[in-house]
Amino acid sequence: MKFIRRKTLAAASTVALGVGLAVTGGLAPASAAGPETTFLVLAPQGASTDRAVARATAAQGTVVATYDQIGVLVVRSTNPDFVRQVAGAGVESVASTAGLGAALDEGETVELTGLAATTADPTGEPLFAQQWDMPMIKVPQAHAVTAGSPNVVVGVLDSGISSSHPDLASQIARDKSASCVGGAPDTTEASWNPTTSDHGTHVAGTIAAAVNGVGVTGVAPGVKVAAVKVVNDDGYIFPEAAVCGFLWAAEHGMQVTNNSYYIDPWELNCRNDARQRPVWQAVQRAIRYSQSKGVLHVASSGNSNYDLAHKNVDSGSPNNGTPEVREVNSACLVLPGEAPGVVTVSAVGPTGAKSYYSSYGQGVVDVTAPGGDTRFRTQGVPSTISDAILSTTFNVTTRTNGWGYKQGTSMSSPHAAGVAALAASAHPEMNPGQLAAFVERTATPLSCPAGVYNPVPLLGSEYDATCSGGARNGFYGAGMVDAHAAVR
């Protein structure tokens, strides 16, 4: 029986080189015994939130944000009986999000010392020779056609972006950036800069690092990125932050978002679980609404080497408590990666073969992209860090900018998001569904390896994987994203 091993969608390792959103304040809650807890309160689909707001206030809740577009409230309360008291007419469901955060795995950092035109030459960037990932997806050829349009904005739903980084300062759409930590947007620049994690800065560099004679190149340096911070200072992504992030992207004209994370401490969010279902409903509503507003979402498949098409048992969740063993089935999904319409991305290393850690699944993975594989050369140990992905970094201790390596499906997803941004630049008439289909159609098919695949046998049989399918298969989906084909 296959078990899911609990790992986050964040970088597996790091080595650094050097909404029309209504925000309301409810009545002050009466005295109540219990810690302050955040809740998602859902009104019936399509109905006004007025009665839900009234019920939440009457149940001693403070309404932090009202997302009328999707009928979802973010409420805080110290009332231990809030869930029971808020139930009634005007409220479809309610869920506490306490303990529902998913942590980012930051890995090790070692610093290096001494270090918007429509077309660009990325090969002249000082560190381009170490970016094996960019030639793999034909970025130089694409940039000869277009490096992307500044009218295209990619929302980086992550841990923030360093606004002072020399490869990113010119690339950030500051007027479209915000922190959604807590469930309501904060547009102050300090709020959406990184505090305890440089994960979002690395992701942003892969998408759009400038061609400016400094550092690295991004896949689409002609486009803009918006920092949409959804990771709190403890490294957790709570459902209310993700909902806020999707709505913010929808209401601020973003064409693409990158989502290198999953929601909930359970890697699989089960629709048939009474506690998890309201979270699943709220996230689904937010994703569907943003898609209707022209946003394509791109997401990581995960770092658990798990077959997402054949779910049986989850033995490693939740990540913020004592792991439990529970049976799972097709009602249990990785969010946002398995939400309808989201482009789900697996990872490959320098050879173009599936990275040892990358999750997969026939009918789940849509495309693949470089995410790094530091173990294949040695079959497991030790690692070769130059086989990871080089991008922009921010040292959260010294508060200094730099460049460095990370690996994971967190790194493959922004490559695909960058290709989608290039495609949106070249074909602005496409809606999200058409754009997703185009990115898949222009991908280069990759064949399944024969038999049981394990590039790291010295790490053990837990990295065994079997690929199924033909031209479109469980390891690679429609194939390797192709930046050049996407702009032709």
Which residues form the catalytic set? 158, 199, 410
Rg of the Cα atoms in the chain: 21
| 172, two tokens | 């950030």
Where b means 16+ CB within 10 Å and e means fewer, 374-397 reads bbbbeebeebebebbbbbbbbbbe
Of 160, 301, 146, give the one whose Cα is nearest residue 228: 160
Q: Do the beta carbons of residue 154 and residue 258 sit within 8 Å?
A: yes
Q: What is the DSSP string of 141-197?
A: HHHTT-S--TT-EEEEEES---TT-TTTTTTB-GGG-EE-TTSS-B--HHHHS-SS-
Q: What's 63's DSSP letter?
A: E
Question: Rounded CA gap, 223 and 125, in Å?
Answer: 18
412, 7, 271, 464: CA torsion to nearest 10: 80
Q: What angle do CA 288, 292, 424 make, to 5 degrees?
A: 115
Of 156, 336, 335, give the one whose Cα is nearest residue 228: 156
Question: Rounded CA gap, 336 and 218, in Å?
Answer: 24
Q: How deeply is 45 buried, as exposed, middle or buried, from its count of CB atoms within 10 A (0-12, 13-18, 19+)?
A: exposed
Question: Rounded CA gap, 302 and 300, in Å?
Answer: 6
- Residue 202 parent element (H or E): helix 199-208
Question: Rounded CA gap, 328 and 313, in Å?
Answer: 5
Ranges assigned E (strand) in 261-399: 269-270, 296-300, 313-317, 324-327, 332-333, 343-348, 367-370, 389-395
| 456, two tokens | 């790291």
Q: How deeply is 32 buried, as exposed, middle or buried, from its count of CB atoms within 10 A (0-12, 13-18, 19+)?
A: middle
